[in-house]
Amino acid sequence: MSEVLPALGQIACLVVLLVLLVPPLGRFLAHVYTSEKHLAVERVTYRVLRVDPDADQHWRTYALSVLGFSLVGVLFLYAFGRLQQLLPLSLGFPALPADGAWNTAVSFVTNTNWQWYSGEAALGHLMQMAGPTVQNFVSAGVGMAVAAAFARALSRTEQGGRIGNFFADLVRTVVRVLLPISLVSACVLIVFGAVQNFAGSRTMTTLTGGTQTLTGGPVASQESIKELGTNGGGFYNVNSAHPFENPTAFTNLFEIFLILLIPFAMAWAFGLIVKDRRQGIAVGGVMALLLGLSIGLVTWAEMAGVGTAPQLAGGAMEGKEVRFGEAASALFAAATTGTSTGAVNAMHDSMTAPGGGVVLVNMMLGEIAPGGVGSGLYGMLMIAVVTVFLSGLMVGRTPEYLGKKIGQREIVLVALYILTTPLLLLVGIAVAVSFDAGPAGVLNSGPHGFSEMLYAVTSASNNNGSAFGGLTSGTPFWNTLLGLEMLFGRFLPMVLVLALAGRFASAKRLPANAGTLPTHGPLFVTLLTGVALVVVGLTFVPVLMLGPVVESLS
C-alpha cells in the first residue's frame, strides 16, 4: 500500500493539471488556426519566406509545401552534421559519418529523434541548438499544421479541395504556441535544477574519490521543447534519466505533463474547429481511455515484477533511476510511447517482458493515446472514419462522418493510411533479420534479442524514437534502414491525410437524420476504442508472439 499511494498520487496530480489546462489551451489553438489576423513578427517571417499567408492552398499544394519544407530541413541538418568540425562551439567533436548524418537529419525532421549516438559525446553546442533543437520546433509545427488542416477540411463545404495555408499554420504554431510555452517551461526546469550553459567537459571528483567527466550545455532549452513537441531526443545519452535533464521528481512529473499537454489540447481544439465541442471530447476520451489502460498495465508489470528477484525486491528496479522508482518510470514509459515522444527516464530494455510488450503495442497502435502533437489527432480521426464506415456496413447505410459522406475513394485513402505503418514495420523487421548486419548489433539472444530489433523498427516506423537500448544501431545497415523507416513512416501517412482532407473540403455537408450514427456519445467512444485495438492491434499479434509474448512465457 505504501508503494501504491504515491503512484496514484502522481497520476492524480497529472490528471488535475491536464483537466485544468487542456481546455484553455485547446480554445487558444482553435483560435490560432481559425483567426485571419497575423502578428507583426509573423508578417516579417512571411516576407522572408516570400509566401502569401492568405493564399488558400489546394491539398496538393499544401502537401508539396510540407514535403518541400521538410526536404530543406533534411539537407540543412545533414550539412550541419557533415561539417560539424568547422563550426564554432563544436567542442572539438568530428563530423558525423555519412550514414549517421543521414539518419540524424531524417530523425529530427520527422519528429522521431532516434539517436544512434551519445549526444554529449558527439554533438557540439551550436549543432545541438541550430540543428536538433530548431527541428524540435518546426517538426512539431508541421504535425500540428497537418492536423489543423484536416480539422479545417471537416468544417468546410464545397471548397474545391482547399484546406488552408501550410506556412501560415506552421509559423503561427511556432510563434504563438511552441515558443512561448517552451520558454516558460525551460525557465521552470532551470529553477528546479536543469543545466543551461555553454560549458564544455569538466572533470569532477566523485564521492568515492574517483573522477568523472561531465559536459554542460544548453540543456533546459532543448529539454522543454523536446517534451512539449513530443520530440524526445535527449542532450545526454541516457535522456531524461540524466539529472542534468531531469533533476527531481517534480521535474519528472512536469515533463510528463508537457508530453501530454498539446496532444490532448489538439483534440479539444478539433471540437471547436468543427463547431461541435462534443466531437473533441469524444476523441479525447478515447485517447485518455487507451492511455489509462496502458499506464495501468505498465505500472502493474513493473511494480509487481516478473520472476523471483524482482518480486523479492518489491518491483523491477533494473534499469530505473532510484530517484524515480518503478511507478514514475512506468508512467513516463506509457506517456512517451503513447505519444510520439520517445524520451525515457528508464531503460526500456530492462523492463519486464509484459511491460516492454505494452510499450511496444502503444507504438504499434499508431501512437494515438494521445499520440504526437498533431499526428495523434489525425491518426485518431482516421480510425474514427474507419469506425463510422464499419458501423455503416453493419446497419446497411452509407457511412458519413460529421456530415461528410465516406465513399469508395475516401475509404481507399483511409485503408492505405491504416496499412502503411504495418507494411513498413513488418517489411523492416523482415529485412533486419534476413541480413547478418541486423542481428549482429543485438545484445541479448533469444526472444529478447528479437524484441530489441522489433522495438527499433517499430519506433522508427511510428516516429517515436525511443529504443530498447540493447541494440548497437550506429552502423551503416541500421542507420540506413531506420532512416528509410522514419522517412516513409512520417510522410506517406501525412500525404494520405491531406488527400482525404481535400476530399472532405470538396464535399457537401449532409444534414443529420434518424439513421446518422452519433459520433460524440458513449456508444461511439466504445466503438472507436474497439476498432483501435482490434483493427490496428491484431495486425501485430504474430510478430509480438515471437518477442514479448514468448519471453513472458519463458
Q: Does residue 206 fall inside a structural domain?
A: no
Question: CA–CA separation, 316 vs 359, rounded Å?
Answer: 16
Sign of dihedral through CA atoms 495, 498, 502, 504?
positive
Residue 208 lies in a domain: no
Write down the pTM of the prediction.
0.96
pLDDT (mean) for 294-310: 78
C-beta atoms surrounding 88 within 10 Å: 7
The pLDDT of residue 159: 87
C-alpha cell at position 268: 479539444
Q: What is the pLDDT of residue 174?
A: 98
Whether 145 contacts 269, CB under 8 Å: no
Average pLDDT rounded to a whole number, residues 38-55: 96
Question: Amino acid letter at 503?
Answer: R
Q: What pLDDT shows up at residue 312?
A: 46
Residue 207 resides in a domain: no
* In the block, residue with C-alpha cell 541494440: 471
With respect to residue 490, please indicate whether it lies within any of the assigned structural domains. Answer: yes
pLDDT above 80 for 515: no
Q: Which of 28-37, 266-275, 315-324, 412-421 has the lowest mean pLDDT?
A: 315-324
Task: Answer yes or no: is 175 within a domain.
Answer: yes
pLDDT per position as a tens digit, 393-423: 887 777 899 999 999 999 999 999 999 999 9
Give, in order, the Cα–Cα distances in Å from 279 to each of 223, 266, 275, 435, 518. 33, 12, 9, 47, 9
Q: Please state the rounded mean pLDDT for residues 288-317.
A: 77
Among 452-461, 492-501, 534-543, the minimum mean pLDDT is found in 534-543
**pLDDT tens column, 79-95:** 999 999 999 989 999 99
User: Does 137 map to a domain?
Assistant: yes
Q: Say which residue the cell 488542416 belongs to.
A: 149
Cis peptide before 542 (omega within 30 of 0): no
Cell digits of residue 119 = 549526444
Domain region containing 174: 4-201+213-553
Smallest Cα–Cα separation from 371: which of 282, 441, 292, 266?
266
Contact residues for 47 (Cβ-Cβ < 8 A; gap 6+)? none
Query: What are the φ and ψ backbone dihedral angles of 442, each rounded to 5 degrees?
Result: -80, 135
DSSP 533: I
Encode 403-430: b = buried (16+ Cβ within 10 Å), e = exposed: bbebeeebbebbebbbebbbbbbbebbe
End-to-end CA gap in the chain: 29
pLDDT of residue 382: 96
Spatial contact of 302 and 330, defined as CB atoms under 8 Å apart: yes
Number of separate helices (H) and strands (E) present in the chain: 21, 6
Please tell me the distance from the alpha carbon of residue 510 to that of residue 496, in angstroms, as a whole number: 23
For the chain, how many structural domains are there in total? Answer: 1
66 part of a folded domain: yes
Burial (CB count <10 Å: 0-12, 13-18, 19+), residue 312:
exposed
Domain for residue 489, yes or no?
yes
